[in-house]
Structure 1
Amino acid sequence: MKENLIQKKSFAFSVRIVKLYKNLVENKREFVLSKQLLRSGTSIGANIEESIGGRSEKDFLFKVEIAYKEARETIYWLKLLKETDYISVEEFNEVHNLADEVCRILAKIIITVKNKV
């Protein structure tokens, strides 16, 4: 089976989000925004996994589109955490760049699948 780039990247992104969440809870004592970040950031990979097991191209596309929306939401929470000084500009840039990369890959997948239909 060939390597699935978005599967690999979304899992690595989820791991990074979990680590950021742990840091926010343990060191910054921030519980509300970080929980939102954790939910949206880890659901990207979960939706990718579901899309891989999709029963049809339509099912696959539906789950990939959800993953894309979750990635966009994750970027929102990252911006909010940065602007409220819970994460540094450096932390933001690192995680935002990863989220942006995942978004771009997902957008290309969506366009490719829609053009096939």
Structure 2
Amino acid sequence: MLRSGTSIGANVEEATAGISKRDFTHKMAISSKEARETKYWLRLIQHSRIVDVETSNLLVQVEELIRILTSIVKTSQVSIK
């Protein structure tokens, strides 16, 4: 979860320095995928109860982040075509 969770921000940072619109869109798409992976790990933690961590708020936040990133990717793809 640490890897996928921190990869979201790293790829957004790379996207903002993208050399082209296509590069920007690609990095944002990777961020979206990493957010989805992080959501998976949070759900796994929640359901397995491996550790005693409250995940409900984190799941809400990652879901919102997924919606934002997905919207950015879709909007960027339209402007590429």
For 1:1-117, list aligned pairs within 5 A.
37-85=1-49, 86-88=51-53, 91-117=54-80
Q: Deviations over 1:2-43 (max 9, x none)?
A: xxxxxxxxxxxxxxxxxxxxxxxxxxxxxxxxxxx1100011
Structure 2 stretches lacking a partner, 5+ long: none
Amino acid at match of 1:48: V
TM-score, length basis structure 1: 0.65
| Aligned-residue offset at 1:87 | 3.9
Q: Which moved more, 1:42-51 or 1:78-87?
A: 78-87
Amino acid at match of 1:47: N
Q: State the aligned residue count.
A: 79
Structure 1 stretches lacking a partner, 5+ long: 1-36
Which SS does the other structure have where 1:77 is aligned? helix
Q: Kindly indicate whether structure 1 or structure 2 has the higher relative contact order, using CA contacts under 8 Å at least 6 residues apart.
A: 2
RMSD: 0.9
In our comparison, the structure showing a higher alpha carbon Rg is 1
What CA distance in whole angstroms lies between the structure 2 residues aligned with 1:114 and 1:62? Answer: 9
